[in-house]
Structure 1
Amino acid sequence: MKRFLGLLKREWQLQYKWIFVACVFSIIVTVGIPYLVNKYIDASIDQNNVTFIMATILSIFTFLIVSVQFVKNLNRELRHADIWLHSTAPFYELIGAKLIFSLFSNLILVLLTTVVMVVAVSIEGKMTIVQDIKFMFVVNYLSTSMLVSALSLTLLLNTCYLYLKKWLGRFAMIVVMLLLFLISYGTHKITNYGLYSDFFLNGPKTNGWINRFMDPIIQVFHSDFFIEDLYLREDILSWLVTLIIMIFSIKWCEKVVKE
């Protein structure tokens, strides 16, 4: 445990600057731009509404920013693979520290944007602290869920790229993009099979509590937000598939680095 905490501390020392920059960027996008638009372009625009929309968009796409940073940081260190090969920590801890730190980074950025959203809502209408906390929790839950799936797929594709790069050079990127397309297409086809629908798109739903937590905040701006058809069986399947891809990707990445 002490060794793993040391790896997390090292990640912080390597990446705290980009987190700071990302936080400043988030504040500029969610607060600064709506203020400037309202003050210098069109005073009739509801500044709080625009702030809420900008913060919502940023919250949705934060997981993509974190995934890109994860790959960038990983590849930078893999250029000096001898450091990893001579490390006393097992490979899964080295990768795991980066994955956990990515989740931590995502949590900080999404918390920042949800605080901005809650402040914008509070100016427009009275919300209880419990409603604010519920809203912040569900936004972080959704963002974290997307990030975990994105990180597993990102690690798989990046490992595939590193492996193919030895043989194909720059053309490896084209192959990886084709692989991503095939994965997306295959997932779409599988989830539209009747057998899949009959088994996984039945039973208890998990979207009810999400809608209840978000609806009071959304309605302040006279908008609607409703997530349909989230099923417990499909959620469990998604988490299992993500875990399998993650384990496979870590093992494959270790093999590629050691070759």
Structure 2
Amino acid sequence: MISPDDVRIETVRDFWQKNPVAAADIAAELGTAGYFEAFDALREHDDCEPYVLSDRIHGYSSAQGLKVLDIGCGNGYVLFQYARNGADVTGVDLTATAIDLSRKRFAQGGLTGSFVEIDGEHLPFPDDHFDIVCSMGVLHHVVNPQPMVDEIYRVLKPGGRIIVMLYHRYSWKNIVLLRLRRLFDPKFRGKSHQQVLNMNDGDECPLALVYSRREAAQLFHRFVGIEFMLTFLSWKQLFMLPPLVRLAQRYLPPSSHSLPARWMGWNLNIHAIKPASQKA
């Protein structure tokens, strides 16, 4: 088994170039209007991240006139929401596929954005440039994300904010579900926990890491006002047995707003501020 420390950035790039997020679950041709509609429906489902919750995380509705950078912009979903609310948006991504998808989404939606194919360790932007820098589900696919975090700090304006999502170490998924997969699913039997964790994003995904609040706080130690929000724990994941899942879906509120999701959600959302006074 390849150690996480041995995973090269080229390997990560090759995987995501061939496997855009959720593309395997969408029948429509990549980059078409139907593809984006299907992706948005999957993402905004009550079990995942409804738009109201996404707006709470990102603050789309209060982004008028702000400069926003998304590192690992994927197919442009997050930046599109910012742009339609009046933000000046820029996206960077490791893969040409993502950049092409983002440009197509914006062209089809009649919005303007800037997109650059580049890794997050070498951002082609001046110091103190953006009001918001977000990176959702990206840093946990990097062996050492600290150089990317340092670049985020550099290009963010003093008083600007970061919005980041990492996989949560103490989530129901990591503690319970992945272990059950190793025990009962023939596909995962005999594999290490790290291998099963990697496979969460596709059978050939080279790397996925998990973070506790303490580990995330250490990663973003130069920032202040760090806040955490846990999301994403569906009733299906929690109850597992179909009859119990159906009862929960019928009588309980949407799982995206549930207490279990806020306690043991898979997505560790992080908000923090670059200090207005920058002392070495």
Could you tell me the TM-score, scaled by structure 1's length?
A: 0.29
Q: Which of 1 and 2 has higher RCO (CA within 8 Å, sep 6+)?
A: 1
User: What is the TM-score with the length of structure 2 in the denominator?
Assistant: 0.27
Q: Which has the larger radius of gyration?
A: 1
Q: Which structure: greater strand fraction?
A: 2
